[in-house]
Amino acid sequence: DIRMTQSPFSLSASVGDRVTITCRASQSISKFLNWYQQKPGQAPKLLIYAASNLQTGVPSRFTGSGSGTDFTLTISSLQPEDFATYFCQQSYSTPRTFGGGTKVEIK
Amino acid sequence: EVQLVESGGGVVRPGGSLRLSCGASGFIFDDYGMSWVRQVPGKGLEWVSGINGKGGTLGYADSVKGRFTISRDNAKNSLFLQMNSLRAEDTALYYCARDGGYSGYIDHWGQGTLVTVSS
């Protein structure tokens, strides 16, 4: 199985900050990498698919990049509604494993 | 509007069985692959199993292989997860999810159904 490692585990940031979350795959997954946002009590929400494609309706301050084994999710200017937990997921092969999550908290 | 509604969760004893269902609406069901994803409250996400639009199984997580079976009924716009030989570690919120496209991402999620395995 492909192991997905996210970092950091958590971070504290202020509104307006630029935030970067990284995700590393244990083997190459080409661009089969997706990012989700989850808020407490809610189901996850798709942000980015295939490494860099913004899902319809997601604000442009979210960008994804990377290929192979190393990927990043960047929030260019953190907004109050962005405080949440973020998960990466590989869909290169099954089982379609998730990263452990990164919790973005208010500083 | 895409809607996914899970049902069938509950409390079951270790070794018992449970069948989860997911009713889908708002899209052409057999055009899409579907997945089950679970989450222990407050913890991370675990992909459990997936199935393509025609009913071909995509695979299972190692943790459930041989115990869980995914299936679908396209005539009834329904997805199922048969869970046998349940263990305490299967306790989680189980989400029904739609695979959005060729690259396997999940673009819609249900609200989940809670499974608790406890004696």
Residue of chain B minimizing CA distance to A95 = B61
Determine whether the interchain pair B107/A49 forms a contact, defined as Cβ–Cβ distance below 8 Å: yes
pLDDT (0 to 100) of residue A42? 97
Query: Which tokens belong to A4?
Result: 């997905």
DSSP A94: S
Express each pLDDT in A19-74 by its tens digit. 999 999 999 999 999 999 999 999 999 999 999 999 999 999 999 999 999 999 99
Residue among B105, B107, B111, B114 with most chain A CBs within 10 A, to mutate: B105
Residue B47: which of A50, A92, A95 has the nearest Cβ? A95
How far is Cα B102 from Cα A28, in angstroms, rounded to an integer? 18
Residue A101: which of B44, B59, B105 has the nearest Cβ? B44
pLDDT (0 to 100) of residue B103? 83
Determine whether the interchain pair B47/A99 forms a contact, defined as Cβ–Cβ distance below 8 Å: no
Q: Is the pLDDT at B81 greater than 90, yes or no?
A: yes
How far is Cα B51 from Cα B55, in angstroms, rounded to an integer? 6
Residue A91: which of B61, B105, B109 has the nearest Cβ? B105
Contact in structure between B91 and B113 (CB atoms under 8 Å): no
pLDDT (0 to 100) of residue A49? 97
B/e letters for A1-30, b = 16+ CB within 10 Å, e = fewer, are ebebebeeeebebeeeeebebbbbbeeebe
Contact in structure between B81 and B14 (CB atoms under 8 Å): no
pLDDT (0 to 100) of residue B111? 97
Determine whether the interchain pair B109/A101 forms a contact, defined as Cβ–Cβ distance below 8 Å: no
Sign of the Cα torsion B41, B48, A62, B25 reads negative
pLDDT (0 to 100) of residue A54? 98
The chain-wide mean pLDDT, for chain B, equals 97
Q: Residue B101: pLDDT band by 50, 70, 90 thresholds? A: confident
What SS3 state is found at B20?
strand
Q: Residue A82: pLDDT band by 50, 70, 90 thresholds? A: very high
pLDDT (0 to 100) of residue A69? 98
Residue of chain A minimizing CA distance to B101 = A49
Q: Is B33 on the interface with A (CB under 8 A)?
A: no
* Residues in A touching B112 (Cβ below 8 Å): 43
